[in-house]
Structure 1
Amino acid sequence: MNAAAADPADNNATDGYGDFDFIVVSNRLPVDRVKSDGEESWRRSPGGLVTALAPVMGKADGAWVGWHGAPDEEVDQFDHDNMHLLPVPLSSSEVELYYEGFSNATLWPLYHDVIAPPEFHRTWWDSYRTVNRRFADAAASMAAKGATVWVQDYQLQLVPQMLRKDRPDLKIGFFNHIPFPPLEIFAQLPWRRAIIEGLLGADLIGFQRPSDASNFLRCVRRFAGHTVRQQQVQVQTEEGISYVSRAESFPISIDVDQITELAKREDIVERSKQIRRELGDPKTVLLGVDRLDYTKGISHRLKAYGELLEDGTLTVEDASLIQVASPSRERVEQYRLLREEVEGTVGRINGTYDTMGSTAIRYLHHSYPVEEMVALYLAADVMLVTALRDGMNLVAKEYVAARTNNTGALVLSEFAGAADQLRQAVLVNPHDIDGLKSAVLDAINMPDREAQRRMRLMRRQVLQNDVERWSKNFLNALQQTEPGEEG
């Protein structure tokens, strides 16, 4: 394994500061462990966050704090590419209580409008606090005096306040990648004030949509009692220290250059044609790409598509749906039940409508490399993004970026953050099955000229606002507030 042993305590131990001017803190490190010929090494993880922050790491003498993915194991900090990585250990019990429990069975459903009922267990909360403290301590040990620390996502909402108490010299940012719920839903959380105060430890709290920031500020007024003026919160600590915390929207995006370059590669273009041939060359290929998660609206999509076949509006000779549903949290009961429901629905539809030469739904319960995903984007005439609630949904933006000839149509849930930017999509309420059926037909039958006009405008938006611009906008805004600034 590529590991260079080091101890955070060795970093400028005499003055209590670490060596790094820019720290990212996230639940997972930006690398995956791989084994080849009996040798272990690390490979950079796919994903927009890593792509956005890797260049910043190189320029700013950066370090990344996160779990390395294996429970009950301690790994020394090490360097990979241009990043210094500090693995935070988690026990099997903490993975169960902090991650699968409080993060993904309490916060995830609560923050996604209670599509599934959240569970509230004190043992889960205790573990969440313990793990957040461990992440905060690790980040503090690495940070140089006056460093910038950017904490990522809902698993670590207590870290900003912990850092502020331990290291008031730091600039602290937090970004919430998922929605933030309305006050009436957030009110259910027994530990609501502790979460709010944890987030308010940050100088800048970023959200995907303006509505998420507004929801948060409403909760601050109701449950924390701090003075809120526009997007600023005047925080008064128990120690009598006053500072300003800001809440703003910074919609995340994708690595546009990567997607557009892949979309022009001859082998990927040929693969897209091969995909259509393997489906029997239908007139229309529809595509859904999701994690197998109850927030993604897969069941609603399948119901609408099945009814279109039942109505005779679509036939399997003319239309085929590819549904990629990558595995997700398979140890959690709700996800196992969802998989059974989705696969049962696919089986019923295919059993009813398949012919020897055509299939209604090609269901793929796999994860695929980005090259295959771009080939699927190129093969699809219509992209279906029907999330019941989604912070952003980067698949929608990837599809748009891949359509370099401005063809294709996007059916997009109005409950996905991407709907704020991609207004030229066919917007839909996925709970309205009749409306969803109409939206699918509108996308299929849209005149070429109208489809190209819409796609051209959406591509302009995505190309001008890539993931690098997102990170720059957030970090520039963070620098405008000094840590501990007096209000």
Structure 2
Amino acid sequence: FWERAKFREDDWQVFLKVNRKFAEATAAEAAHGATVWIHDYNLWMVPATLRELRPDLKIAFFHHTYFPSADVFNVVPWRREIIGSLLSCDYIGFHIPRQVENFVDVVRGAMPAERLAWESCAPRFLTYGCAVGLDTMTTRLRVGDREVALGAHPVGTDLRRIHNVLARSDVRNDIFKLRREIGARKLVLSVERLDYTKGTLAKLEAFERLLEQHPDRQGKVTLLMICVPAAREMTIYRTLQNQIEQAVGRINGRFSRLDWTPVRFFAQALPFEEVVAHYAAAQVMWT
């Protein structure tokens, strides 16, 4: 979604101030030689300040959101500052090897860097035959007088917990009720939090085009969308929520029948057990 990006110097200055507060608070709390684990792009600039304040600390960073390719990341005006801050870490983790190499490409495009160590992606990761496959992954990088370790760590799913939930009689009963309610129709399920990066509005527009271009699908498929709202303080998302609700109303207004509502939309968080039941009842999970 780089085309949606808007870069304002005053926003960047606020970002720096907030990150500095996190770094100062961490510096005041951490024991000598402690390991500090920082999470995601919201705190990109913490490592640089923290390294300055507490050179004794070991700093690790995990990038939860997808780290983009260099041609996308390089549209950011402050890319060198961000990369410089991340390189203040001792270790940086990403989900998959492709994201590691995206980071390496960005670094090498911004400053001289030496690839010190690498490893084969197989057999842990897919190498060939998928869109983001790689055969090797950089595990150590030198930039100037600093060496930074890199790694890929996919955030997994607690399968045992899911199996235990599915074995419960109340959850099985919920699955039966959901399937009975949907009937012979196909159920497409989308569960996500309210954020434009999740593409919720785009999904609704795509579903609307499906019903337009394939009238034979009308009455045969239901989109169940569960969207966890943002915190009340995050007023920036109110416009997006209004757009989503208007799209739901428009689609249902155009295509609904007495016995079928195309989109079922819930702007609320559901207990884990209910989420599992919905996934089990659906034929398609739309992520």
TM-score range (shorter-chain normalised) is: 0.7 to 0.9
Corresponding residue number in structure 2 for 1:81: none
Which of 272, 279, 283 does residue 175 from structure 2 map onto?
A: 272
* Contact 2:92/2:148 (<8 A) preserved: yes
Corresponding residue number in structure 1 for 2:258: 356
Structure 1 residue 327 corresponds to structure 2 residue 229: yes
Q: Aligned pairs, how many?
A: 263
Corresponding residue number in structure 2 for 1:250: 153
Corresponding residue number in structure 1 for 2:164: 261
Corresponding residue number in structure 1 for 2:52: 165
Corresponding residue number in structure 2 for 1:297: 199
Structure 1 stretches of at least 4 aligned residues deviating more than 4 Å after TM superposition: none
TM-score (normalised: structure 2) = 0.82
Q: Percent of counterpart pairs with the same letter?
A: 38
Corresponding residue number in structure 2 for 1:186: 73
Task: Provide the secondary structure at the position in 1 that maps to 2:32.
Answer: strand
Instruction: Quote how far apart the aligned CAs of 1:276 are.
Output: 3.0
- 1:155-186, Cα deviation, whole Å (9 max, x unpaired): 11122232223333322110010112222222
- Root-mean-square deviation (CA), in Å? 2.2
Task: Provide the secondary structure at the position in 1 that maps to 2:88.
Answer: coil
1:105-124 correspondence runs (5 A): 113-116=1-4, 118-124=5-11
User: CA 1:187–1:284 in structure 2 vs 1: closer, same or farther (change >3 Å)?
Assistant: closer
1:36-47 correspondence runs (5 A): none
Structure 1 residue 142 corresponds to structure 2 residue 46: no
- 1:102-128, Cα deviation, whole Å (9 max, x unpaired): xxxxxxxxxxx4152x22222222222
- 1:309-333, Cα deviation, whole Å (9 max, x unpaired): 34233232x332211122237511x
- 1:241-283, Cα deviation, whole Å (9 max, x unpaired): x33102322211233332222122111111122223344x233
Cα distance in 2 for partners of 1:266, 1:298 equals 32
* Contact 2:165/2:171 (<8 A) preserved: yes
User: CA 1:347–1:282 in structure 2 vs 1: closer, same or farther (change >3 Å)?
Assistant: farther
- 1:54-86, Cα deviation, whole Å (9 max, x unpaired): xxxxxxxxxxxxxxxxxxxxxxxxxxxxxxxxx
User: CA 1:308–1:193 in structure 2 vs 1: closer, same or farther (change >3 Å)?
Assistant: closer
Letter in 1 for 2:262: A
1:275-286 correspondence runs (5 A): 275-279=178-182, 281-286=183-188
TM-score (normalised: structure 1) = 0.50
Task: Provide the secondary structure at the position in 2 that maps to 1:313.
Answer: helix
Cα distance in 2 for partners of 1:182, 1:319 equals 36
Q: Which runs of 5+ in 1 are unaligned?
A: 1-112, 237-241, 386-487
1:86-97 correspondence runs (5 A): none
Q: Which runs of 5+ in 2 are unaligned?
A: 119-137
Structure 1 residue 154 corresponds to structure 2 residue 41: yes
Which of 275, 278, 287 does residue 373 from structure 1 map onto?
A: 275
* Contact 2:34/2:57 (<8 A) preserved: yes
Cα distance in 1 for partners of 2:109, 2:12 equals 22
Corresponding residue number in structure 1 for 2:84: 197
